[in-house]
């Protein structure tokens, strides 16, 4: 089915449309398992539209009657009309229309996609596959272009088409590497996001990790980790005490300091999963003598904004809360911690969403960290980082923001055995957890992240460490983004790559503190992966 799959199969086929065979998956120099898909349960199949492949990300309720089937199609069409309406989609209309109208169907973008590549060119993963289905539906059923059927082919729009297209929008990491290669400027990643939006904003169908347990939970409690402001302050206080002991460096994380220069916004997942990252920021900022604070206001202690991946309204609500917290404290600027999508959400996308009175300056932590490291204010001993280090470029901060060099300046300054992945910088590959997948583990999604979406990144990592892949050399993958770390953690753990290859991962601030002379040696804990 891999290569015989055609656009019209989306509406014609019965049952599961396709699968990715293990044999088709790219082989790696690392022992990353090819895990067979687990069969979806009968209950899942009866409850949800399990019609695309072996995964169910979106969980579209399966229509039970012809009336419900028709309703699904009609709602989808309503949503599509709204995507092309100025009032409802002013945010992305220009990009969507041009991406729909001007694609030349040249498929020059296919090879750029890591999903397409690692599946041996599976048609479902061709960036243009989903986009072209979307375009044909639009031209035939919404725009009703003259002779559309004759010109582009007759694509039947039924409930299976809708269900499969919705699910297809989640066979993409929204890394936009394909868009970078398009000669015309068409953006297939954007089309995937617009389909996700249609389902969320019109049909109210979205992955629970992004919506109920994501943006809605953040709007309710302040964080998708469910930590409220009291819990988060307690936890950070505990981190301060714990790491002050370990490092021999007394520090305290400031909270709600009015008039501070900087409001630092972390991804709150770090507090739970990687406290060493939180502590490292506090140590560096204190050692550099910065005037800074965290905020305990609603959502302001968690920089995540999952709306970035699926919903403009949820995006705007969260961005507003972040900006309002900064405004209330009267800080001079917001600095985003190591979270790629939080970077892009608040610095770039929110730039044309926030009203001028809330347009508090916002910047990435990387340039600031670079300036601190280079300033000479802190004494470093790079020999403490004398192990092989490679750098992963989070798509959101690098390809989509152009923040490339500051991280590298730090690496070159503090890591004697730094080596690049290839390609890197703005041409990087996604870690495989992009666009929300890093926080999803159900219905074969964790297998998909291992088998498919994370495969190319693991190939790059293996290549970067080709001269020292064995377990005798400890190696550090610097992934300065919470989601990327989550994805890489999973692949390392799942495949035992700590034991087999001594692969470790972490952020960039950990490397900085690890090299600080005023801190006890051994900040990076190699054992505790």
Partner 1 sequence: MVTFVYLVAYLGTVACAAIIVLNVIKYLKKPQHVRWELYPVGHEQGHRASYGGSYLEEVDWWKQKQTGSFFGGLKALLIEVLFLHATFEHNKKLWGRTYPFHFGLYMLFGGFFLTIFAALAQLMGVVPGAFFTTVGNLVQVLSLVGFLGVIGGTCGLIHRRLNQEDLRKYSTRDHYFNLGAFLLLGLLGGVTWLGSPSFFELGRNFIANMLSFKFVDPGSASFSLYLILGFALAAYVPATHMGHFYMKYFMYHDIRWGDQPSQDSATIQGKIGRMLNYRVSWSAPHIKGDGEKTWAEVATTNPSANPDGKN
Closest separation between CB of residue 128 and partner 1, Å?
7
Please list every residue from 369 through 388 that binds partner 1, using CB under 8 A: 371
Q: Tell me if 57 contacts ligand SF4 by CB under 6 A.
A: no
List the single partner that 173 binds among ligand SF4, partner 1, none, CB under 5 to 8 Å by kind: ligand SF4
Closest separation between CB of residue 477 and ligand SF4, Å?
20
Q: Tell me if 177 contacts ligand SF4 by CB under 6 A.
A: yes
Closest separation between CB of residue 438 and partner 1, Å?
22
Q: Which residues of 72-82 are buried (b: 16+ CB within 10 A; e: fewer)?
A: bbebbbebbbe
Cβ(260)–Cβ(293) below 8 Å: yes
Give 474-492 as a 3 state SS string: CEEEECCCHHHHHHHHHHH
Query: Considering only residues 12, 39, 184, 241, which one is a binding residue for ligand SF4 as defined by CB under 6 A?
Result: 184
List CB contacts of 189: < 8 A, sequence separation 6 or more.
Answer: 127, 172, 174, 175, 176, 177, 178, 179
- Length of the chain counted residue by residue: 529
Q: Tell me if 127 contacts ligand SF4 by CB under 6 A.
A: yes
Give how far Cα 521 sits from Cα of 14, 284, 379, Å.
61, 15, 13
Cis peptide before 423 (omega within 30 of 0): yes
Query: Considering only residues 11, 119, 128, 460, which one is a binding residue for ligand SF4 as defined by CB under 6 A?
Result: 128
Query: Considering only residues 15, 66, 356, 376, which one is a binding residue for partner 1 as defined by CB under 8 A?
Result: 356
- Choose the binding region for ligand SF4 from 141-149, 166-174, 220-228, 360-368 (rule: CB under 6 A): 166-174
Tokens of 135: 């375009």
CA–CA separation, 491 and 170 (whole Å): 20
Closest separation between CB of residue 24 and ligand SF4, Å?
16
Q: Tell me if 394 contacts ligand SF4 by CB under 6 A.
A: no
Q: For partner 1, give the closer residue by CB, 211 or 419.
A: 211
Q: Tell me if 246 contacts partner 1 by CB under 8 A.
A: no
Query: Considering only residues 59, 140, 221, 295, which one is a binding residue for partner 1 as defined by CB under 8 A?
Result: 221
Please list every residue from 401 through 430 that binds partner 1, using CB under 8 A: 401-406, 425-427
CA–CA separation, 99 and 109 (whole Å): 13
Please list every residue from 456 through 475 that binds partner 1, using CB under 8 A: none
Q: Which single residue is written with the structure tokens 């340039």?
A: 367
List the single partner that 201 binds among ligand SF4, partner 1, none, CB under 5 to 8 Å by kind: partner 1
Closest separation between CB of residue 172 and ligand SF4, Å?
3
Q: Tell me if 313 contacts partner 1 by CB under 8 A.
A: yes
Please list every residue from 52 through 71 that binds partner 1, using CB under 8 A: none
Give how far Cα 130 sits from Cα of 47, 198, 440, 451, Å.
24, 14, 22, 21
Tokens of 353: 């969403």
Closest separation between CB of residue 103 and ligand SF4, Å?
3
CA–CA separation, 524 and 259 (whole Å): 33
CA–CA separation, 273 and 276 (whole Å): 9
CA–CA separation, 331 and 322 (whole Å): 12
Helix (H, G, I), strand (E, B) or coil at 497: helix
Q: For partner 1, give the closer residue by CB, 40 or 93.
A: 93
Please list every residue from 122 through 181 that binds partner 1, using CB under 8 A: 123, 126, 128, 132, 150-153, 176, 179-181
**Computed from CA positions of residues 95, 96, 97, 99, in that sequence, does the dihedral angle turn out positive or negative?**
positive
Q: Tell me if 187 contacts partner 1 by CB under 8 A.
A: yes
Query: What is the 8-class DSSP label of residue 506?
Result: E
List the single partner that 175 binds among ligand SF4, partner 1, none, CB under 5 to 8 Å by kind: ligand SF4
Q: Give me the 185-224 binding string for ligand SF4, x by CB under 6 A, dash otherwise.
A: -x-xx--x--------------------------------
Cβ(386)–Cβ(416) below 8 Å: yes
List the single partner that 489 binds among partner 1, ligand SF4, none, CB under 5 to 8 Å by kind: none
Q: Tell me if 352 contacts partner 1 by CB under 8 A.
A: yes
Q: Tell me if 436 contacts ligand SF4 by CB under 6 A.
A: no
CA–CA separation, 477 and 394 (whole Å): 12
Query: Considering only residues 140, 201, 235, 390, which one is a binding residue for partner 1 as defined by CB under 8 A?
Result: 201
167, burial (CB in 10 Å: exposed 0-12, middle 13-18, buried 19+): buried
Closest to 424 in 3D by CA, of 457, 465, 379 = 457
CA–CA separation, 128 and 79 (whole Å): 21
List the single partner that 320 binds among partner 1, ligand SF4, none, CB under 5 to 8 Å by kind: partner 1
Query: Considering only residues 65, 183, 472, 527, which one is a binding residue for partner 1 as defined by CB under 8 A?
Result: 183
Query: What is the 8-class DSSP label of residue 205?
Result: -
List the single partner that 188 binds among ligand SF4, partner 1, none, CB under 5 to 8 Å by kind: ligand SF4
Q: Give me the 91-120 binding string for ligand SF4, x by CB under 6 A, dash otherwise.
A: ------------xxxxxxx--xx-x-----
Q: Which residues bind ligand SF4 (CB under 6 A)?
A: 103-109, 112-113, 115, 127-128, 172-178, 182, 184, 186, 188-189, 192
């Amino acid at each position: 089915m891999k290569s015989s799959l055609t656009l019209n199969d989306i509406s014609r086929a019965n049952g599961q449309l396709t699968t990715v065979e293990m044999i088709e998956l790219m082989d790696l120099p690392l022992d990353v398992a090819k895990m067979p898909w687990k069969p979806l349960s009968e209950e899942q199949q009866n409850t949800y539209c399990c019609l695309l492949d072996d995964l169910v990300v979106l969980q579209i309720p399966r229509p039970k009657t012809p009336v419900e089937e028709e309703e699904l199609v009609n709602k989808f069409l309503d949503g599509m009309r709204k995507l092309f309406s100025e009032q409802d989609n002013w945010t992305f209309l220009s990009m969507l229309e041009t991406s729909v109208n001007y694609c030349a169907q040249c498929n020059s973008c296919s090879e750029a996609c890591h999903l397409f590549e690692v599946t041996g060119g599976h048609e479902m993963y061709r960036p243009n596959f989903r986009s072209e289905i979307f375009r044909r539906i639009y031209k035939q059923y919404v725009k009703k272009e003259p002779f559309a059927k004759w010109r582009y082919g007759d694509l039947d729009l039924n409930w299976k088409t809708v269900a499969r297209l919705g699910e297809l929008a989640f066979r993409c990491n929204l890394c936009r590497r394909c868009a970078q290669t398009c000669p015309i400027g068409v953006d297939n990643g954007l089309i995937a996001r617009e389909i996700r939006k249609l389902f969320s904003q019109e049909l109210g169908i979205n992955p629970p990790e992004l919506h109920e347990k994501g943006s809605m939970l953040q709007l309710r409690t302040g964080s998708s980790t469910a930590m409220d402001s009291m819990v988060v302050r307690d936890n950070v206080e505990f981190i301060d005490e714990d790491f002050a002991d370990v490092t021999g460096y007394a520090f305290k994380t400031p909270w709600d300091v009015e008039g501070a220069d900087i409001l630092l916004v972390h991804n709150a997942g770090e507090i739970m999963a990687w406290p060493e990252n939180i502590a490292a920021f506090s140590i560096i900022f204190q050692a550099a003598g910065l005037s800074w604070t965290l905020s305990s206001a609603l959502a302001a202690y968690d920089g995540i904004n999952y709306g970035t991946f699926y919903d403009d309204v949820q995006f705007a609500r969260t961005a507003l809360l972040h900006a309002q917290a900064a405004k209330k404290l009267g800080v001079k600027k917001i600095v985003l911690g190591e979270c790629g999508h939080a970077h892009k959400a608040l610095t770039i996308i929110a730039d044309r969403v926030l009203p001028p009175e809330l347009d508090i300056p916002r910047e990435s932590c990387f340039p600031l960290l670079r300036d601190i490291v280079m300033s000479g204010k802190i004494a470093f001993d790079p020999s403490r980082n004398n192990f092989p280090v490679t750098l992963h470029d989070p798509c959101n901060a690098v390809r989509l923001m152009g923040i490339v060099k500051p991280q590298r300046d730090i690496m070159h300054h503090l890591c004697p055995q730094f080596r690049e992945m290839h390609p890197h910088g703005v041409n990087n590959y996604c870690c495989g957890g992009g666009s929300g997948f890093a926080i999803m583990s159900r219905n074969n999604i964790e297998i998909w992240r291992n088998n498919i979406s994370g495969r190319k990144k693991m190939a790059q990592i293996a290549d970067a460490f080709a001269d020292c892949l064995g377990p005798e050399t400890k190696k550090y993958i610097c992934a300065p983004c919470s989601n990327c770390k989550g994805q890489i953690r999973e692949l390392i753990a799942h495949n035992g790559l700590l034991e087999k290859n001594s692969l470790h991962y972490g952020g960039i601030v950990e490397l900085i503190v690890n090299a600080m002379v005023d801190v006890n040696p051994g900040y990076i804990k190699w054992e505790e992966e």
